Amino acid sequence: MAKKVTSKTEMTQEKPVVDTLRNQEVDDAVEKRLIALYTLQSVDSEIDKIKIIRGELPQAIEDLEDEIAGLETRISNFNNEIAETNQKIASENNTKAEYTELLKKQQKEQDNVRNNRQYESINREVEYSELQIQLCERHIKEFNARISELKQRIEASNLLLTNRKNELEVKKNELDDIIKETEKDEERLLAKSAEQAQYIEDRYLTAYKRIRTAARNGLAVVTIDRDACGGCFSKIPPQRQTEIKMHRKVIVCEHCGRILVDDSIASVARESIAKKD
């Protein structure tokens, strides 16, 4: 049997059909990618809302815990300084006692001197001992004043510490109550977010996370709103809008870098989320 020979004309007619199918496959892949990205953004935005409900409580709790740790360290340092100062007082008392005993001996020797030379020598020793005793007493007085000051600081710090611990307990209870109310929703949304991320290529997922982190409102994928970017509200040229609606490639805002989608992508994504719910 003779083989059928494909003419150049037939090959030329088949090629556009193949190219069209390939282009359609590419367009479908891009469209699915855009739907997945917008769905992921919608889910992550719901998670953000839960975090907003918690407000500044987590940060307030962290600040209080840091302050409490600082107060406890301060109190510990004050107590250590009191212990060291008491040791110094004990040392000064020992020195004072030694000079007091020495002074008594010197005063007795004064009664038994035989000449003026010996008297002047012992008298100088007596004066030196008396000065040392006075110096010890002055040091002891200063150390006791320092201890008194430290005790007042400890008392004030303990009072502040008690207040901060009570405040911390109240805020933790508030946060626990909020977490209990939103825990199930958050777990469900986190699971959705992780599931949706599986359908997005790593390079697009990385870009999404980078844009989302940089954006103040956490929006990395936005729709066109009144001919403008739904994130930064910069005007989008008509030609650019047409390209976005064709779903042939991922297009970002020239001003803020957010990924742009049209209402049809957003609509399909919302329907997908509603079905899963």
Domain limits, the chain: 54-183, 200-277
The H-or-E segment that residue 223 falls in is: strand 221-225
Mean pLDDT of 68-90: 97
* β-strand pairing of 259-261 with 251-252: antiparallel
Mean pLDDT of 234-259: 92
Mean pLDDT of 65-71: 97
Mean pLDDT of 66-72: 97
Q: How many CA atoms lie within 13 A of 206 on its CB side?
A: 3
Q: What's the CA gap between 121 and 113, in Å, rounded?
A: 10
Answer with the residue of higher pLDDT: 122 or 222.
222
Residues 151 and 85: beta-carbon distance below 8 Å:
no
Which pLDDT score, from 0 to 100, does residue 189 have?
84
Q: What is the pLDDT confidence band of residue 11, given thresholds at 50, 70 and 90?
A: very low
| % of the chain surpassing 70 pLDDT | 89
pLDDT at residue 177 is higher than 70: yes
Mean pLDDT of 73-85: 97
Answer with the residue of higher pLDDT: 51 or 265.
265
Q: Characterise 80 by phi-psi region: left (phi > 0), alpha (psi -120 to 50), beta (else).
A: alpha
Answer with the residue of higher pLDDT: 66 or 119.
66
Which pLDDT score, from 0 to 100, does residue 169 have?
96
End-to-end CA distance of the chain: 61
Answer with the residue of higher pLDDT: 227 or 185.
227
**48 Cα distance to chain centroid:** 17
Which pLDDT score, from 0 to 100, does residue 181 have?
78
Mean pLDDT of 107-135: 88
Mean pLDDT of 201-205: 90
pLDDT at residue 13 is higher than 70: no
Q: Helix and strand tally (H, E) in the chain?
A: 6, 4
Q: What is the pLDDT confidence band of residue 3, given thresholds at 50, 70 and 90?
A: very low
CATH 1.10.287.1490 for the 54-183 domain, yes or no = yes
Q: What is the pLDDT confidence band of residue 198, given thresholds at 50, 70 and 90?
A: confident
Lowest-confidence segment of 17-31, 93-107, 226-240 by average pLDDT: 17-31
Tokens of 219: 């929006």
Mean pLDDT of 66-90: 97
Mean pLDDT of 223-239: 93
